[in-house]
Amino acid sequence: MMSTAVSTKAGVSSAASTRKVVVARRILGAASPSRTASVAGLRSKINSNSRSVKVFAGDDLKNSAQDLLTTATEKWEETEDKPTVVTLAFAGLITLIVTSSLLGSLDKVPFLGSLLELVGIGYTAYFAYNNLLFTPDREALMKKVDETKEKIL
């Protein structure tokens, strides 16, 4: 009885593999050896004609990065209390990690993530209406952003 079950399973698997080979030959049209050779030749031509593309960053990006690095170096040299700055940066990193995990936990609570998304969309619409829609408001916002940027840098 055991040998009959094993031979039946072997027969089914060999029939399935034979079917796969026949279907593959039909799809590829590789019924004749000359056809197989032409497909292989075509593949080699495609592979030999492939080209690589290299992307280079523009000078603007390099200049901006260099300016940012120079400004950061100058600000670091001007800093009198370096241990305090390092401590504050570390505390900021820890705060970011805790906040991220807290928001991840809140997102798992049913309907709370959707509610917070809705609040965010509402505030974005409010901000856009009050600061971006009209020209005087946009100019005032840009002035405030520039002042803050100058104050920081």
Q: Is residue 64 part of a domain?
A: no
Residues 115 and 95 in one domain: no
In angstroms, what CA-CA distances link 78 with 66, 69, 84, 100, 152?
18, 14, 14, 32, 13
Q: Is residue 147 part of a domain?
A: yes
What pLDDT sits at residue 83?
92
Residues 103 and 125 in one domain: no
Residues 150 and 126 in one domain: yes
Q: Is residue 151 part of a domain?
A: yes
Q: Give residue 153's pLDDT band: very low, low, confident or very high (50, 70, 90).
A: confident
What pLDDT sits at residue 112?
87
Residues 103 and 131 in one domain: no
Residues 20 and 32 in one domain: yes
What pLDDT sits at residue 62?
86
Range of the domain at 31: 7-43
Question: 51 versus 61: which is more confidently predicted?
Answer: 61
Summarised one tens digit per residue, pLDDT across range 135-148 is 899 999 999 999 99
Q: 30 CB contacts (<8 Å, ≥6 apart)?
A: 24, 36, 39
pTM confidence score:
0.39
Which amino acid would we find at residue 57? A
Nearest 5°: the CA angle 81, 85, 89 is 170
Residues 100 and 116 in one domain: no
Residue in this structure with the two tokens 């940027």, named with its chain if needed: 149
Q: Is residue 49 part of a domain?
A: no
Looking at residues 85-103, what average pLDDT do you find?
95
DSSP 82-120: HHHHHHHHHHHHHHHHHHHHHHHHHHHSTTHHHHHHHHH
Tell me the average pLDDT of the chain. 77
What pLDDT sits at residue 86?
93
Residues 118 and 146 in one domain: yes
In angstroms, what CA-CA distances link 76 with 82, 84, 89?
8, 12, 13
Residues 97 and 129 in one domain: no
Which amino acid would we find at residue 133? L
The answer for 29, left when phi > 0, alpha when psi is -120 to 50, beta otherwise, is left
